[in-house]
Amino acid sequence: MPGKILVVDDAAFMRMMIKDILTKNGYEVVGEATDGAEALEKYKELSPDLVTMDITMPEMDGITSLKEIKKVNPSAKVIMCSAMGQQAMVIDAIQAGAKDFVVKPFQADRVLEAIGKALS
């Protein structure tokens, strides 16, 4: 069952890419944010079913934002996205409560698989 998704990335191109994948597959992108602080505000405002969250962003990074969102809603579903397949960051993200981790550049099937699993 498709859900409402908040897309968070400081790069407009990356947001556009992931939005394209999502909308073509029946998901509704309810909002976008360019950093972790904005993501937290939008999360509270929009109550999305899922958040795709970049890790490396200005203001507040994705892992900090993930932790803050989890304080607002412990059952929040967040999938981390990062160009850096750094093991430590992946582990930090999962320990902080991320449902999954997708590496950039995005592969549509991998993104959809992660989102499908998280929402099921």
> Per-residue pLDDT for 2 more than 70?
no
Report the distance separating Cα 31 and Cα 114, nearest Å. Answer: 19
Q: How many domains does the chain have?
A: 1
pLDDT at 30: 98
The pLDDT of residue 106: 84
- Domain residue limits at 36: 4-119
The per-residue pLDDT for range 40-98, each reduced to its tens digit, is: 999 999 999 999 999 999 899 999 999 999 999 999 999 999 876 667 888 899 999 99
For the entire predicted model, the pTM comes to 0.94
Q: pLDDT of 17-42, one tens digit each?
A: 999 999 999 999 999 999 999 999 99
Q: Are 67 and 94 in contact (CB under 8 A)?
A: no
SS3 category, 61? coil
> CATH number for the domain including 110?
3.40.50.2300
Which amino acid, residue 25? N
